Amino acid sequence: MSRTARTTNLTRVAVAALVAVTMTGCSSSADEQEPTTKESTSAAPEEKESATPDPLEEQAVALDTYVAQLQAQIPELQSAFDDMYSKIDIVGVQPDAVEFSYVYLEQLDAAATASGLDSMAETLQATCDSTMFPEMESAGITIDPKVIYTYYNADGSLIWTRTFSKS
């Protein structure tokens, strides 16, 4: 496969994976989280203040919920790209990131593939800004959300990884 064809194919896969994940309505809202219960209504004011949820703890729960919804999409993504990847994984990286990792089905030239992925970084950033970050924020991941893309060769060696933050 030529370098141009590989880059075009990689762009198609990265954008299609993002679109497939985000178009399936995997957003969650704060209303879906279990409300905290108070054991006693006669608690002293300082006890009530200490019961105030920590925003990072709330975000951790939101991230776990959001990632679980994304993970439900993996079989569909794997099926769509079974000729390119042997494995697709989506994990939460606490406290603020979603990592998409891809393992290529066949061994590729790592340097050429990394170069092709470098050339896609602007497209990935734009997709994160327009789609992923708004969805993450809607799901409750509001404190410095990030998306990480990691690509591995068929032998498990790292080819490329990049963390995207809101621009």
pLDDT in tens, 3-27: 333 333 333 444 444 433 333 333 3
Q: With a cut of 90, say whether residue 92 has pLDDT above it.
A: yes
The pLDDT value recorded for residue 7 is: 31
**Token representation of residue 28:** 């969650």
Q: How far is Cα 165 from Cα 145, in angstroms, rounded to an integer?
A: 7
Q: How far is Cα 104 from Cα 102, in angstroms, rounded to an integer?
A: 6
Instruction: Please say whether the structural domain 3-23+53-165 has been given the CATH code 3.30.300.
Output: yes
Q: Give the residue-averaged pLDDT of 127-155.
A: 97
Please report where in the chains the tokens 């404190």 appear, as a residue. 143
Other beta carbons within 10 Å of 113: 19
- Domain limits of the chain? 3-23+53-165
pLDDT in tens, 102-140: 999 999 999 999 999 999 999 999 999 999 999 999 999
